[in-house]
Structure 1
C-alpha cells in the first residue's frame, strides 16, 4: 500500500533521489541535487507544501506530484481558479499505474480545494513558475513527450489534449542573418538596444524570472522613440550545462501591431543572435504553440529545427474521469 502526505522539510534529498532515478531525457536535468531543487522550486515565495504531495511505501518516498496556480490578470498574486499539475515523478522500479492515478487524483483534490474550476496537466505560460532550468528547456513546455507516465495517466483520468508545444533550436555556428533590401531599409528607420538584467514588471514576473540572468533586446522607431519589437533571452541554466552546449533560451518575442510583416522580428533576432554568438552562445532554443503558424514560419526562416515537443492537458474541476474536455483557453495560447 502507498501512503500520500504533504511535503516535509526533510524531503528534498529524497525527492532528488527519485529525480535522479529517471531515465536519460533531453529535457530533464541530470544529475540533480537538493540545493538545485531548493533554488528552482522550494524557495519560491508562492510555494505551498500542501501542493507537493509525496507517495511513500514502507516509509520510502517512491513518487511525488506538484500542483500549483498561475497569476491573476495584474500579476500581483495567484489566481486559484486555474491550476495545474506541474510535475509527477515515480522512482525507477515503482512505475505503477495505480500510483500515478493516486498522485494525479491527490493533485486534483488539492487544486479543487483551493478553488480551481479548470485543471491542467503540464506547466506552460502562465502556469510556468516552477522547474525553469530543470525541465523542458527555454520555457516550461507542458508535459514532455518522453514523460509517458504522466501523459498516459492524464488520458486515463479524463483529461483531453488541448495544445502542443514545439521545442526548436538554432545552431548559431551555421546561422546567417537575413540580408535583403527590406532589411537594409528597416535598419535606417530603427535603433537596436540591449538591456542586461531588466527589472521585473510585476510580482509574478519576479517569481518566474527574477532569479535568472536575462538579456532583453529591443528595436526603437528612431522618429518616435517607441518600442516596436522586443525579445528576451536567458542562459537555460543549469539544464544547458547538462547538454554540454552554451544555450540561450528565447522568450517573450513581441512586435508592435503597426510594424508587423515588415521584417522587424527577423532583424531583431538577427542582431541579437550575432551579439550572443560573439559571447560564446552556440545554440538558441525557443518554444511556440504548434498552431502558431506565423512563429513557426519565422523560426524556420532563421534555421531553427524541432528537437522535442510537449503536450498540455485540461479538464474541468467537476468533470468525471473519461469525460471530454474544453479547448485550450486564450490565457494559455
Structure 2
C-alpha cells in the first residue's frame, strides 16, 4: 500500500539512497550522502518538513517530492504565491508511474494550501531555494532534458513548457584572451578588480548563495565608484566532484547600459578566465534562456558550447 507522509528526521539515509539509485546524469551530483543532503537542503532556514513528502510502501521509502516557494519583493521573505516541486525522485528500480503522480498531486496540494496560484516543476530563478550544487549546474535549470524520468512525470501531469534554458560550458585549457584593438582600448581605461567574499544582495541571496565559495570580478572606470561591468563565479560543488573537473559556475554577468557595445564583457571575461585558470579552474559553466539570442551569440563567441537544456514547466492549480 502506498503512503505519502511528511519528512521525518530519520529519513535522510533513505532519501540519499533513492538519489543514488538514479540513472547516471550529467546534471545530478553523485554519490550523494545523507550529510551532503542535510547540508544543501535540510539546513536551509526556510526548510519546512511538511513540504518534503516521502512515498513509502510497507514502510519503506520509494520516492520523494519537495514542494517549495520563492522570495517576496526585495528578497527579504518567502512568498507563497508561486510554488514549485523543486525535486521529484522515485527509486531507480521502481517502475510505477502512480508513485510520481501521487507525489506531484500532494506537492501541489501543499503549495495550494499555502496560497500558490501557479505550480512549477524544478528549480528556476527565483524558485531556486534548494538543490543548487546538487542538480543542474551553474544555476537551477528547471527540469533537464537529460533527466527523462522526472520530465516525463511532469508532462504526464499536464505541465506545459513556458521557457527553455541552455546550459553551456567552456574549457579553459586552451583559453587565449581576445587581443583585438577594441579590447586593448578597454584595458587602457578600465581597472580589473576582484572581491573574493562578495556581500549578499538580500536575505534570499544570502540563504541560497551565502554558503557557496564565490568571487566577483568587475571593471572600474577612472573617477567612477560604480562598476561598469561585473560578473560572479562560484565553486560548483559538490556537483563538479561528479565530473572530476574543477569547475566554476558563472552568475550575474552585467554591463551597465552606458558601457555596452564597447567590448566590456569580453575584456571582463578574458581577465576573469585568466585569473581562474591561475587558480586551477579548468571549466566554466553558464546558463541562459534559449530565446536570449544576444546572450547565446556572445557565449558562443567566448568559446562556450551547449551541453544540456532545461525546460521550465508550469501548470495552473488543480480544481479542489
Asked if residue 94 in structure 1 is aligned to residue 120 in structure 2, the reply is no
Alignment of 1:1-333 (within 5 A): 1-318=1-318
Cα contact 1:118–1:316 (8 A) shared by 2: yes
Q: Cα deviation per residue 1:31-70 (whole Å; 9 max; x = unaligned)?
A: 1100100110000000011111000001100000001000
1:195: how far off?
0.2
**Secondary structure of 2:204 counterpart:** helix
Q: Cα deviation per residue 1:129-175 (whole Å; 9 max; x = unaligned)?
A: 21111111111111011222221222222211011111111010112
Tell me how far apart the structure 1 counterparts of residues 159 and 90 of structure 2 sit (CA, whole Å): 20
Tell me how far apart the structure 1 counterparts of residues 201 and 314 of structure 2 sit (CA, whole Å): 29
1:234: how far off?
0.8
Q: Cα deviation per residue 1:15-36 (whole Å; 9 max; x = unaligned)?
A: 0010010111111111110010
Tell me how far apart the structure 1 counterparts of residues 53 and 225 of structure 2 sit (CA, whole Å): 50
Tell me how far apart the structure 1 counterparts of residues 96 and 263 of structure 2 sit (CA, whole Å): 51
1:241: how far off?
1.2
Tell me how far apart the structure 2 counterparts of residues 77 and 277 of structure 1 sit (CA, whole Å): 37
Tell me how far apart the structure 2 counterparts of residues 168 and 117 of structure 1 sit (CA, whole Å): 32
**Secondary structure of 2:88 counterpart:** strand
Q: Cα deviation per residue 1:72-120 (whole Å; 9 max; x = unaligned)?
A: 1111001110111111001122131111111111111110000001111
1:201: how far off?
2.0
Cα contact 1:117–1:318 (8 A) shared by 2: no
1:226: how far off?
2.4
Aligned length: 320
1:318: how far off?
4.7
Tell me how far apart the structure 2 counterparts of residues 317 and 258 of structure 1 sit (CA, whole Å): 43
Q: TM-score, normalised by structure 2?
A: 0.98
Gaps of 5+ in 1: 321-333
Tell me how far apart the structure 1 counterparts of residues 319 and 177 of structure 2 sit (CA, whole Å): 49
Tell me how far apart the structure 1 counterparts of residues 157 and 24 of structure 2 sit (CA, whole Å): 27
1:319: how far off?
6.5
Tell me how far apart the structure 1 counterparts of residues 253 and 181 of structure 2 sit (CA, whole Å): 23
**Secondary structure of 1:28 counterpart:** coil
Check 1:317–1:242 CA distance in 2 against 1; reply closer, same or farther (3 A cut): same
**Secondary structure of 1:74 counterpart:** helix
Tell me how far apart the structure 2 counterparts of residues 225 and 50 of structure 1 sit (CA, whole Å): 46
**Secondary structure of 2:140 counterpart:** coil
